[in-house]
Structure 1
């Protein structure tokens, strides 16, 4: 197995572990994410729901905000695993639009989003999931 593929699988495993901490009493949809920083460190996050749904934070944003809080600003990839709480994932869990916008804030178009349905990996570039992204460069 090539090194890049092994790294993606390791990220997926970290995302699965983070998913176990999901707080999802309303949707029952548990999501975990594992964010790979350019320096090799990994930040995990889970979704945290709130009765006032707009206050909910997705797993991807939780991972990004934890990393940014620790001073990280360069990222390589994120793995996302989601599905019904207590069950193995059966379909891909793609990042929502708000999470894609957060990714655009900190990552370039080549940033990798790794997703799995529990059987195989699917890898997308940020530019594929958010074409014509509005980012920091638009405000200069």
Structure 2
């Protein structure tokens, strides 16, 4: 399946508008393409107890799980600023659990820069359910 990165970026950017980020002011959106062509979006939702904050990537993954998506092909993250940020450690673990090792992860920013990885590059030497 061809991956429309521009289209996924636009959906991630739109999801960003719904973010709840009153503490950092740093709104992030994410969009995931599944094997059936469906797109699942998420945004970050902050909490005064920062450990309870939920990142856009994990919220998009949860949306994909809720909708019954079985194969996740690509994840696009959109954030403001000049730097396309990589996913945090917790998101990397969740991405690793739910996406195949060769799935694509792309981070875009409002300045236009893009960084890209395969899932197995984000979390090398991983341990997961796939090791049973």
Q: Does 1:104 align with 2:96?
A: yes
Q: Does 1:42 align with 2:39?
A: yes
For the aligned residue pairs, the C-alpha RMSD in angstroms reads 1.3
Per the alignment, residue 28 of structure 1 pairs with 25
Per the alignment, residue 127 of structure 2 pairs with 134
**Normalising by structure 2, what TM-score?**
0.92
**Normalising by structure 1, what TM-score?**
0.87
In structure 1, list runs of 5 or more residues that go unmatched. 84-88
Per the alignment, residue 56 of structure 1 pairs with 53
How many residue pairs get aligned? The number is: 130
Q: Distance in 2 between matches of 1:41 and 1:127?
A: 23
Indicate conservation of the 8 Å contact 2:105/2:118, yes or no. yes
In structure 2, list runs of 5 or more residues that go unmatched. none
1:67-89 CA distance string (max 9 Å, x none): 10121121000100113xxxxx3
| DSSP 3-state at the match of 2:7 | helix
- Shift >4 Å, 4+ stretches: none
Cα drift, residue 114 of structure 1: 1.0
Per the alignment, residue 80 of structure 1 pairs with 77
Q: Distance in 2 between matches of 1:107 and 1:58?
A: 16
Q: Distance in 2 between matches of 1:69 and 1:95?
A: 21
Indicate conservation of the 8 Å contact 2:82/2:113, yes or no. no
